[in-house]
């Protein structure tokens, strides 16, 4: 691998693109809890004027926390580390570069990757005002480009790290897979114990019969607000396997839009989350079926402890031309504390016949029968609870697209359970 740490130049097209975004944004009007997709959120507490833009002086080199993540991954195809919004490390396997794969700042992408056409193409309308704020404030947007017919069998790793105080950071990632291409991508969001506001946007674009495994881990510090969006466009016979892990942030929100736009497209959406203290973890999902014979399967599983809160609202929308749709939506929540709170609101909107759709949600304490079974075999109560929670998450973690980091995720979950046992 050949590392590159030089800062990218901004081509004219990118500056024009960002200027146009600034014109669209104008004076930003933040949403309110009167809007369904923001109900139960603390959005009224956000003051955008509290945050300033980061500078390159805020840090260079790869942070220690990012190195700890990289140490768990053997032989990646590519690595990009972003620190406080700026790319500080970029390396790419020559094997994959020779096959036309590109991973790095979009402003450095070859013309064959059509960077000008890709930036903003999947999230063209923007899921909300924060996507437009991302357009305006992003510094080094990243591109993963896999040409048609290329199957990358090593993980592509993107680490976004924040260690500057009182900054607004706008991570941006575009993943484009050509027809019959395949890749697995890890996006890890971490930080030191700093205060920051993050507006993150991921665009996933899968051409015909492409296959993408996309794993996202949010483990920000306890003084960070993060409002993230993941928007995907899945073409005919393509498959997206997406898995999210949310453990960090004071307020951590992810909106997930999966648009199945070609016959036979599939979107598998999974997530695990664990709230402690006074965290709020917020998820809004949209499974949009716009073509016949498409399939989506959503499974989000969460645990809330102490005074933490979780919010899940989801919508399966089946459009009139999407006959033969199979769509499933499940949200399960465990409350470890009587003071914790979880809201779960699944929804269906169906505009055609000949479909199979279902949704289900549960909120409750640990299953008493499972706990009694373990205790009756001599397992202490605190250990029984740990085993039940670990097993609850296993269903998702066993399918995580980049398995090398699963022990790191499991360790973070165990740390939360350890803290509970010691309380």
pLDDT digits (tens, 9 = 90+) for 135-191: 999 999 999 999 999 999 999 999 999 999 999 999 999 999 999 999 999 999 999
Q: Note whether residue 113 is domain-resident.
A: yes
Q: Note whether residue 295 is domain-resident.
A: no
Q: Note whether residue 317 is domain-resident.
A: no
* Domain end point (choices 261, 280, 298): 261
- Do 78 and 213 reside in the same domain of the chain? yes
Helix axes 406-422, 381-397, angle to 10 degrees: 160
Q: Note whether residue 277 is domain-resident.
A: no
pLDDT at 2: 35
The number of domains in the chain is: 2
- Do 102 and 239 reside in the same domain of the chain? yes
pLDDT beyond 90 at 7? no
Query: Which of 210 and 10 is assigned the larger pLDDT?
Result: 210
Q: Note whether residue 230 is domain-resident.
A: yes
- Do 44 and 170 reside in the same domain of the chain? yes
pLDDT beyond 70 at 57? yes
SS3 string, the chain, reads CEEECCCCCCCHHHHHHHHHHHHHHCCCCCCCCCCHHHCCCCHHHCCHHHCECCCHHHCCCCCHHHHHHHCCCCCCCEEEEEECCEEEEEEECHHHHCCCCEEEEHHHCCHHHCHHHHCCCCCCCCCCHHHHHHHHHCCCCEEEEECCCCECCCCEEEEEEECCCCEEECCEEEEEECCCCEEEEEEEEEECCCCEEEEEEEEEEECCCCEEEEEEEEECCCCEEEEEEEEEEECCCCEEEEEEEECCCCEEEEEEEEEECCCCCEEEEEEEEEECCCCEEEEEEEEEECCCCCEEEEEEEEEECCCCEEEEEEEEEECCCCCCCEEEEEEEEEECCCCCEEEEEEEEEECCCCCEEEEEEEEECCCHHHHHHHHCCCCCHHHHHHHHHHHHHHHHHCCCCCHHHHHHHHHHHHHHHHHHHHC
pLDDT at 231: 98
Q: Note whether residue 283 is domain-resident.
A: no
- Do 251 and 379 reside in the same domain of the chain? no
* Domain end point (choices 261, 282, 307): 261
pLDDT beyond 70 at 421? no
Percent of the chain with pLDDT over 70: 97
pLDDT at 422: 65
- Do 32 and 171 reside in the same domain of the chain? yes
Q: Note whether residue 378 is domain-resident.
A: yes
Q: Which residue has the tokens 């193409």?
A: 121
- Do 254 and 111 reside in the same domain of the chain? yes
- Do 246 and 377 reside in the same domain of the chain? no
- Do 254 and 391 reside in the same domain of the chain? no
* Domain end point (choices 234, 261, 288): 261
**Which whole number is the average pLDDT over 73-89?**
96
The pTM score is: 0.95
pLDDT beyond 60 at 1? no
pLDDT beyond 70 at 4? no
**Which whole number is the average pLDDT over 99-103?**
98
Among 18-22, 103-107, 318-322, 332-336, the minimum mean pLDDT is found in 18-22
pLDDT at 423: 59
pLDDT beyond 50 at 45? yes
pLDDT at 381: 87
Where does the pLDDT of residue 251 fall: very low under 50, low under 70, confident under 90, or very high at 90 and above?
very high
The parent domain of residue 13 ranges over 2-261
Q: Note whether residue 333 is domain-resident.
A: no
Distance from C-alpha of 281 to C-alpha of 42, rounded to nearest angstrom? 11
**Mean pLDDT comparison of 16-25, 124-133, 145-154, highest-scoring range:** 145-154
Among 113-122, 151-160, 321-330, 356-365, the minimum mean pLDDT is found in 113-122
**Which whole number is the average pLDDT over 90-111?**
95
pLDDT digits (tens, 9 = 90+) for 363-385: 999 999 999 899 999 999 889 98
**Which whole number is the average pLDDT over 8-16?**
79
pLDDT digits (tens, 9 = 90+) for 206-247: 999 999 999 999 999 999 999 999 999 999 999 999 999 999
**Which whole number is the average pLDDT over 104-110?**
93
Percent of the chain with pLDDT over 90: 86
pLDDT beyond 50 at 5? no
- Do 254 and 382 reside in the same domain of the chain? no
């Amino acid at each position: 691998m050949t590392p590159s740490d030089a800062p990218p130049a901004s081509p004219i097209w990118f500056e024009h693109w960002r200027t146009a975004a600034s014109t669209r944004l104008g004076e930003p009007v933040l949403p309110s809890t009167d809007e369904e997709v923001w109900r139960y959120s603390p959005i009224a507490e956000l003051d955008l004027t509290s945050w300033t833009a980061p500078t390159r002086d805020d840090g260079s080199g790869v942070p220690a926390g990012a190195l700890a993540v990289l140490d768990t991954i053997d032989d990646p195809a590519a690595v990009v580390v972003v620190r406080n919004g700026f790319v500080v490390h970029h390396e790419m396997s020559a094997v994959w570069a020779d096959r036309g794969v590109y991973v790095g700042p979009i402003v450095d992408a070859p013309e064959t990757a059509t960077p000008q056409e890709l930036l903003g193409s999947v999230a063209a309308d923007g899921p909300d005002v924060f996507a437009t704020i991302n357009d305006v404030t992003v510094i080094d947007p990243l591109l993963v480009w896999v040409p048609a017919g290329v199957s990358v069998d090593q993980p592509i790793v993107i680490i976004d790290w924040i260690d500057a105080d009182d900054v607004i950071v706008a991570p941006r990632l575009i993943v484009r897979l050509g027809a019959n291409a395949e890749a697995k991508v890890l996006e890890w969001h971490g930080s030191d114990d700093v205060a920051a506001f993050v507006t993150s946007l991921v665009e996933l674009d899968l051409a015909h019969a492409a296959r993408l495994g996309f794993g996202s881990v949010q483990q920000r510090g306890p003084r960070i607000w993060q409002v993230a969006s993941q928007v995907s466009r899945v073409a005919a016979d393509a498959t997206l396997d997406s898995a999210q892990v949310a453990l960090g942030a004071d307020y951590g929100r992810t909106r997930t839009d999966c648009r199945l736009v070609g016959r036979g497209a599939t979107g598998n959406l999974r997530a695990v989350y664990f709230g402690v203290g006074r965290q709020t973890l917020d998820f809004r999902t949209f499974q949009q079926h716009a073509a016949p014979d498409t399939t989506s399967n959503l499974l989000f599983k969460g645990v809330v402890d102490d005074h933490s809160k979780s919010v899940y609202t989801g919508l399966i929308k089946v459009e009139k031309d999407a006959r033969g749709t199979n769509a499933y939506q499940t949200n399960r929540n465990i409350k470890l504390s009587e003071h914790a709170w979880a809201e779960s609101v699944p929804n269906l909107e169906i505009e055609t016949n000949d479909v199979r759709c279902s949704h289900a949600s549960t909120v409750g304490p640990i299953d008493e029968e499972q706990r009694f079974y373990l205790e009756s075999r001599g397992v202490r109560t605190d250990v029984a609870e740990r085993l039940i929670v670990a097993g609850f998450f296993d269903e998702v973690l066993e399918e995580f697209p980049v398995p090398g980091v699963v022990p790191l995720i499991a360790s973070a979950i165990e740390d939360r359970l350890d803290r509970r046992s010691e309380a």
